[in-house]
Amino acid sequence: MYQLNQIPSEAQIKKYLRRIIFGKNIYCPRCKTSHTVVYENRYRCLKCRTKFSLLSYTWLNNMKLSLQQFWLLLYCWTIQIPVRQASTLTSLSDITVYEWYTKFRRHLPADKQILNHLIQLDEAYFGGKQGKALFLAKEVGTRKLAYQLVPKDWITREVASWFLEENIAPYAKLNTDGAAIYKEINKWWPVYHTRDIHKKWEFEKTSEIEGMFGVMRTFIRRMYHHVTVDKLSEIVCEFCYRFSHPEMYGSPRHYLENSLYIVPTR
């Protein structure tokens, strides 16, 4: 566990950020020339006269935290420190931590994977009465996932087959439980389909995916305590991303290398 005094210094963090955002040489975010001058913490372009700072053309512009606070907070998020504990560690309010966790989540890179070979698919319900249904598929023996949240009454064969079309390669092997919506699903999307009949105590064919639902519920409860239905979709996205890309969560640097860049100028 990081202690505050083990966090890189402000100067070191600034160096990391500079490297991640600009590479070897500072250039003007607007006209891309490297003819810039630096004064205090600001840069000025000699060609188009744009003034900029290290972060001003990234999603971290207007950051009110010190770089060390920011680094510690990001570290807490990467290693799944619950909001409340992170607030104690960083001396920031619960609300501030929650807002930053949301930002980190929303700047995860896009991640759409088509599943192949052998796939397990199942659905589960989240968020109580007004909640949603989640289709979740996993390529067996890998970290590849595909998911879709839908209103509860959309658990139909049409939606299931649309999910397959979007996420599953044709002619893959598909295992599901015995739910009626999957009956003859191969007539809707070409897969080699096998069903488990739970009543007969056959759970083997969907065991990996059922395990995933358990891990996901624990993650949500631990990390966020409670999630409202409108946030469900992005939390599921965060969970799946964490599962599929564990390398992103080794350190704040890995996360920033994949999510921090200059936003194209307006």
Where does this chain bind Zn ion (CB under 5 A)? 28, 30-31, 45, 47-48, 50
Closest CA to 22 of 255, 252, 247, 256: 256
**The token pair that represents 221 in the structure block:** 């409860």
Q: Parallel, antiparallel, or unpaired for β 192-195 and 42-45?
A: unpaired
Least Å distance, CB 45 to Zn ion, is 3
Identify which of residues 33 and 156 has a Cβ nearer to Zn ion in the complex. 33
Least Å distance, CB 32 to Zn ion, is 7
Identify which of residues 181 and 262 has a Cβ nearer to Zn ion in the complex. 262
Least Å distance, CB 51 to Zn ion, is 10
Identify which of residues 39 and 201 has a Cβ nearer to Zn ion in the complex. 39
**The token pair that represents 245 in the structure block:** 């890309």
Least Å distance, CB 15 to Zn ion, is 23
Identify which of residues 37 and 48 has a Cβ nearer to Zn ion in the complex. 48
Would you say 26 and 14 are in contact if contact means Cβ atoms under 8 Å apart?
A: no
Identify which of residues 47 and 198 has a Cβ nearer to Zn ion in the complex. 47
| Length of the chain as a residue count | 266
Least Å distance, CB 52 to Zn ion, is 9
Phi-psi category of residue 239: left, alpha or beta, with phi > 0 → left and psi -120 to 50 → alpha = alpha
Least Å distance, CB 38 to Zn ion, is 14
Residue 17 CA to residue 55 CA, distance in Å, equals 8
79-113 burial, b at 16+ Cβ within 10 Å, e below that, comes to eebebeebbebbebeeebbbebbebbbebbeeeee
Identify which of residues 37 and 114 has a Cβ nearer to Zn ion in the complex. 37
CA distances from 72 to 52, 79, 197, 249 (A): 25, 11, 48, 13
